[in-house]
Structure 1
Amino acid sequence: MEQYPIVPGRGLVTPYSTKLRLEYLNEEGHESSQISMSGLSHTEVQNKIESYIGSVEIPVGLVGPLLHVDGDTEELVYAGAATLEGALVASMNRGAKAASLSGGITTTFVHQKMVRCPMFIFHTPDEALTFARWLPSHFISIKKEAEQHSNHAQLVAIDPVITETAVHTRFYYTTGDASGQNMTTTCSWHAMLFIVEQFSKETSIEFKNYVIEGNGSSDKKVSSHAVKNGRGAHITATCYLKESVIEKVLRTTSDSLLECFIPSVALTKKDGMFGYNINVANAIAAIFAATGQDLGSLHESSVGILHLEKKADGLLFTLTLPTLVVGTIGGGTSLPKQNEMLRLMKCEGNGNVQRFAQLIAAFALSLEISTFAAIVSGEFAKAHEKLGRNKPANWLTRSELNTEFITRIMGQVDPKHKEFSIHFNHKELENGIVTNLTSRTSKKTIGFFPFQAKNEHTSISLLIKSKALDMDVIKGLHSMAASIDPSLSDLIYRYRHQTEYFNCHVKELFVYENLHNHGFLSTPKYYGKKENINRELFVLVMEYLDPDAMSHFNSENKPELWKPKDIQNMITEITNIHKHYHTIIDSIDNSQIQPFFAANATELYQKLIDIIVKEEDHTDRKNQLKTLTTFLTDITEQTYSTSLPVCVIHNDFNPRNAGIRANGKVCIYDWELAVKNIPHRDIVEFLAFTLGSTIDENNLKSYLEYHTKLWQKDTSDSQWMYGYIYALKEFLVCRMSFYKAAEILMKLKFPDRVIDTCFTMIAYIKKEYNINTEKVRTQNA
């Protein structure tokens, strides 16, 4: 290279120098629009970086609460974990839950040290020996000199080590609430200069050379010496996990954990692995990044020694972190977001490094507990299991969602739409449950993308809905189920073609287009679709439902919003759709929308029932959930009567997917779980969500009889009225069991309320309409 390029403002951290560097990058053909968007000011990063051009973001997840025990003090604590590794925060939280339910994690602070190791080189071994013997008698004066250059560092010992003609001098400090690498460098440098001057003066021995560090401090490296003698904070964390918690939260047993632990420790010793832990580094790295720690110290800080010991009714976990290099002042801890995370942990500033180190150890042990349990139970493998083809097709990219692509789709419905220009907004929409599940296992461009379609006369708010394949959804369900019960994952995959998720990527496109072509106005307006199976591309263009233009929207937890008129109007519209599909049901191939029968996946639904019964702590609720096994038998041994109409039903018909516009008109959306079934199924699900916890029996009666009359039926028809009971049992077994199982991982507000309403409805219908279910089932058989 004849000439080395000069980057403008090299080393400077000023607004102008940053601007020059970014312009230089652009001139060289490098994109910097994203990196330059930073929330940090130049003042905040001054002395923390050179040649500043911007910042990168790492998402931060909330970990906790975790019950932390320090002496006689018990406290629920939280931490922020900055990571791009999916499932890490969830695993830390599961471990925190298990530990907290077992009495918490107890931590002990042993000591905190920082080491710097100046090296002095002499001409002969005798000179080196003389120097090593000289040091101890001059420790007080060296200590005084070193400590003049810091408000926090205290020199507690100097340990000389001779290697031929060199003497390595390990300076051991305590550094208050700072991690101390920089301050001990400064202190040791001045002490070293003092030593050189004094030793030469007193002995007339000349040094051949001397340097601030001969690599004897193990700075940002792992060594046996550091572990044995100390560098950073030395912390122990212990947790006595109760057997009941191991089984319920971690889905395994203490015997299984111990059985796997002992031989795995044996192999690590044989292999010479340094320490033994599962994945301590993940927890420490995430907290380090969130709180402004020196990421270069991650390697040495992640030395962890995990030990398990069987107890009478559980298992004792002990984690030792002997070289945890952390600080609550200095470095990146003063940056606004990092400082806020320290405040979240109540560890900001002076006097808090001991607490900070203890909490890191506690959260690291939480992750150890959860991950090891996942490995032993099979959850870890199931969550990472590859299902089917993993080779990417030519998937839709975000950049393809442009004017040409979208107007070509819209033009198929109305040629005038080809004249629109497309303008995306940056509003983030909450994706549905199916899309959120899929995003865990797929890198495809899926989800909701709102935009404005404009021409010279008008502007329309529209939405692109890019759908995942049914197999992608199954993968997401499979991964989620692994955290509940690994065998549930297998069953979801085994019965994937018998669930309502089968063909979910094509069903919604079919329904929207079909209802649009037949003049239905009770769904979001349809503007076109794009299907390409080779690219796994299934896209809808539809009306964007602005929450501000809706009176009832995403109201599954607000039954009080739903007045009798709203409910009746919704029953009217969904019945119109049901009757339309009943008339054309024979023309809809099962490859488009399939019939749904719980009998096709009995094993799956029984497993869900077993899980939620085992999980339930309250006796009355547990007994209620046990009844679902009887319901499963009812709906699988004899199906509904052939005299009942079969149609395409929504099959997820609740106030999350059915709303009321500001003008009072109903709107029904998200049809991806549609199946062929009796119309009763949609009606009872909607009523179960909207009737509230206290059912007005007169209202319930009026809704059922209104729906019955819309079909020109009579309430004396026992087969028709039994259809409601059958549908309620199917809804409880096949949908609410999924919701209850999901509550193991995430709290939902509605399941218990909706389940109670369903049981009340069943009892009421039996009594009010004198339905003998055994007699009706026999007739059906």
Structure 2
Amino acid sequence: MTTADFLRPIFLEEMMRAHAPARQIRVLAVAPLALDSSASILTALTAGQTDAAIGHFGLAVTLEADGRRQTQRLVLKVKPPGREISAMLASLAQACGEPLATVYPQFAARTGFHHTHRRELAAYQLPIAGLMPTIWGVYADDARQAYCVLMEYLDDVTLLNSVMAPEAWTDAHIRAALTQLAAWHAAHLTPSPPHGFDDQPSLAHMRQLAPLWEALLANAAAHFPDLYTAARQRTLRTAIAQIPAYWAVLETMPRTLIHNDLNPRNTCFKTSPDGLRLCAYDWELATWHVPQYDVVELLSFVLGPDRYGLRLGYLEHYRQVLHGLTGHYADAAAFRAGAGYAALDFGLHRLGMYLMAHSVSPYPFLPRVVDSYFDTLAQLRPLELPGALPEPRRASEIVREKCQPEALIVS
């Protein structure tokens, strides 16, 4: 399909009708809107390696819905198939040289990017929308390799793509984000991964990919020795060695649907009568992990050296809200341990991938994030914890109790 095919009124109308079959919708006209999509790293990098019509398109759509004529400002996101993103990342690995050039191809389809075209569409069809933007339609056609999301145009918002301005995230923004994130995680706490979310991390997965974690670390150390100091390298090598120990604990902890890319590149705030409302988009990396993972990532992005001392307080705020909604996170020490183990995963996988891309096309925000991340490890000290924690409750027990009414009372 060409770009023109995606922008035809009849195509958008069919997407809308399929998404909201109870509504009477007719698209009357479509006009282009200017749109800055430079923050979408994966789409931008992949667009340069394919002839397919992919990207973000701003649209002013005039429609009639249930007899009422209106014009909506929308964005049509035309996604590349995940295999093309995997191929693009493999080419970045080749550009980095050894050891990534040899090791990465063995694991290219297992780094969480191979099913991005399906995962984001699955996320936007969940029954509980929560943090998400308003979705007007999704489309998937495997035969044509065409995958689309039609969503609201996020223009009446604040802190859109604020990755270069972490200081703009005030205490009010951070607490609002953590409070609403806890509500999302509580609502999606499940005993097994939701349908459509592949490549979820596990003890077996993390162990099998250990050669990749080693290669990503070696690449970061070789290209950025001032950032990945000898001490920091030792820390992450120890983390790789301790994957069996800390994942043995993680596998007993309840897991939920996490965004897995939750940072100021993919978030903004809407203003509502109830105050600030977090909006998270680009759910293509969403997966099933402990809820603390999203918190570790967000705080690594928004906390600079002047606010490192607030990190544990924010984590505790999040725990209290999550415990109030579920009744299952009373042990603050065990919760911090889970956050520390999640931080190890974030450093080995997501930061390793970021540094691989950073080696080829620098991201100005990344050194600051790496420093903040290692402060997370310094405060949580997860490598000192395996074997020292009390026996945790099984995740299945916690999720089973979540459905009982008394577990939902906010304390």
* TM range, smaller chain: 0.7 to 0.9
- Do the aligned residues in 2 keep the contact of 1:595 with 1:677 (CA within 8 Å)? yes
Alpha-carbon spacing, 1:497–1:529, altered in 2? closer, same or farther (3 Å): same
Q: 1:742–1:421: structure 2 CA closer, same or farther, 3 Å change rule?
A: same
Seen in structure 2, the aligned counterparts of structure 1 residues 413 and 502 have a Cα distance that, compared at 3 Å, is: same
Partner of 2:82: 470
1:599 and 1:637 in contact (8 A); partners too = no
Match of 1:567 among 128, 151, 174: 174
* Distance (whole Å) between structure 1 residues aligned to residue 227 and residue 279 of structure 2: 40
> 3-state SS of the aligned residue for 2:387?
helix
Per the alignment, residue 57 of structure 2 pairs with: 449
- Percentage of pairs with the same residue: 23
1:734 and 1:418 map into 2 onto residues whose CA distance is 45
The one of 412, 436, 444 aligned to 2:18: 412
Given that 1:525 and 1:543 are in contact with CA atoms closer than 8 Å, whether structure 2 keeps it comes out as yes
Alignment of 1:632-651 (within 5 A): 632-639=240-247, 640-651=249-260
Distance change >3 Å, CA 605–CA 539, structure 1 → 2: same
Name the structure 2 match of 1:528.
Answer: 137
The corresponding residue for 2:356 is 741
2:402: which partner in 1?
A: none
Report 1:346-365 matches (<5 A). none
**2:240 corresponds to 1:657:** no
* CA deviation map 1:184-219 (0-9, x unaligned): xxxxxxxxxxxxxxxxxxxxxxxxxxxxxxxxxxxx
Are the aligned partners of 2:90 and 2:108 in contact in 1 as well (CA < 8 Å)? no
Which of 341, 344, 348 in structure 2 is aligned with 1:729? 344
2:297 is aligned with 1:681: no
SS for the counterpart of 1:495 is helix
Distance in 2 of aligned mates of 1:772 and 1:480: 34
| Alignment partner of 1:706 is 2:317 | yes
Structure 1 residues 774, 413: closer, same or farther in 2, change over 3 A? closer
Deviation at 1:409, TM superposition (A): 0.6
| Corresponding residue number in structure 2 for 1:494 | 106
- Correspondence for 1:577 among 184, 191, 199: 184
Partner of 1:602: 210
Instruction: Please name the residue that 2:120 is paired with.
Output: 508
Distance 1:501 1:596 in 2: 13
- Taking the aligned partners of 2:365 and 2:302, their CA distance within structure 1 comes to 11
Question: Are 1:438 and 2:53 matched, yes or no?
Answer: no
C-alpha contact 1:431 1:447 (8 A) present in aligned 2: no
In 1, distance between residues paired with 2:141 and 2:258? 26
1:629 deviation in Å?
A: 1.1
Q: Using a 3 Å threshold, how does the CA distance of structure 1 residues 647 and 594 change in structure 2: closer, same or farther?
A: farther
Shift of 1:478: 1.2
- CA shift for structure 1 position 577: 1.9
| Residue-by-residue CA offset, 1:209-268 (whole Å, 9 max, x unaligned) | xxxxxxxxxxxxxxxxxxxxxxxxxxxxxxxxxxxxxxxxxxxxxxxxxxxxxxxxxxxx
2:183–2:322 Cα contact (<8 Å) kept: no
Preserved CA contact (<8 Å) 2:57 2:75: yes
CA contact (8 A) 2:258 2:286 kept: yes
1:361-440 superposed matches below 5 A: 396-401=1-6, 402-414=8-20, 415-425=23-33, 427=35, 429-430=37-38, 432-440=40-48
Any conservation in 1 of the 2:268–2:278 contact (CA below 8 Å)?
yes
Report what 1:750 is aligned to: 365
AA matched with 2:322: W
Structure 2 vs 1, CA of residues 684 and 718 (structure 1 numbering), >3 Å: closer, same or farther?
Answer: same
1-structure distance, mates of 2:278, 2:223: 38
Q: How does 1:310-325 map to 2 (within 5 A)?
A: none
**Displacement after TM superposition at 1:511 (Å):** 0.6
For 1:236-251, what aligned pairs fall within 5 Å after superposition?
none
Task: Give, in whole Å, the separation in 1 of the partners of 2:228 and 2:188.
Answer: 41
Q: Say whether residues 1:623 and 2:231 are aligned partners.
A: yes
Equivalent-residue separation in structure 1 for 2:359 and 2:63 (angstroms):
49
Paired letter, 2:375: T
8 A contact 2:100–2:216 mirrored in 1: yes
Structure 1 residues 528, 619: CA separation in 2 closer, same or farther (over 3 Å shift)?
Answer: closer
CA–CA distance in structure 1, aligned partners of residues 384 and 225 of structure 2:
32
Q: Aligned to 1:485, which of 88, 97, 112?
A: 97
Task: Kindly indicate whether residue 384 of structure 2 is the aligned counterpart of residue 775 of structure 1.
Answer: no
**What SS does the corresponding residue of 2:360 show, helix, strand or coil?**
coil
Contact 1:499 1:596 in 2 (8 A): no
Distance 2:103 2:390 in 1: 30
Secondary structure, in 3 states, of the residue corresponding to 1:459? strand
Task: Evaluate the alpha carbon distance shift between residue 752 and residue 431 of structure 1 in structure 2; reply closer, same or farther with a 3 A threshold.
Answer: closer
Write the letter of the residue equivalent to 1:540. Answer: V
- Measure the CA separation in 2 of the matches of 1:619 and 1:650: 26
Residue by residue, what CA displacement relative to the aligned partner does 1:3-57 show, whole Å, maximum 9, x if unpaired?
xxxxxxxxxxxxxxxxxxxxxxxxxxxxxxxxxxxxxxxxxxxxxxxxxxxxxxx
The higher radius of gyration belongs to 1
Distance in 2 (alpha carbons) for counterparts of 1:496 and 1:469: 14
Equivalent residue, structure 2, for 1:541:
150
How many Å separate the matches in 1 of 2:98 and 2:48? Answer: 17
**CA displacement at 1:619 relative to structure 2:** 8.6
TM-score in terms of structure 2 length: 0.83
Q: Which residue number in structure 1 is paired with residue 375 of structure 2? A: 760
- Could you say which residue in structure 2 is the equivalent of 1:719? 334
Contact 1:659/1:668 (CA < 8 Å) preserved in 2?
Answer: yes
- Name 2:281's counterpart in structure 1: 669
Show CA shifts across 1:675-704 (max 9, x none): 11111110110011111122352x323311
> Residue 763 of structure 1 aligns to a residue in which SS?
helix
How far apart are residue 658 of structure 1 and its match?
1.4
SS of 1:535's equivalent in the other structure is coil
C-alpha distance in structure 1 between counterparts of 2:385 and 2:36, whole Å: 48
Q: What is the CA-CA distance between 1:610 and the residue it aligns to?
A: 1.0
> TM-score, with normalisation over the residues of structure 1?
0.45
Residues in 1 aligned to 2:227 and 2:318: alpha-carbon distance in whole angstroms: 36
Cα distance change on mapping 1:705 and 1:717 into 2, 3 Å: closer
| Structure 2 alignment gaps of length 5 or more | 393-411
Larger RCO, structure (CA 8 Å, separation 6 or more): 2
Partner of 2:397: none
Size of the alignment, in residue pairs?
Answer: 374
Change in 2 beyond 3 A, CA 1:668/1:432: same
The letter of the residue matching 2:13 is T
Give the aligned CA root-mean-square deviation in angstroms: 2.5
In 1, Cα distance between equivalents of 2:320 and 2:390: 26
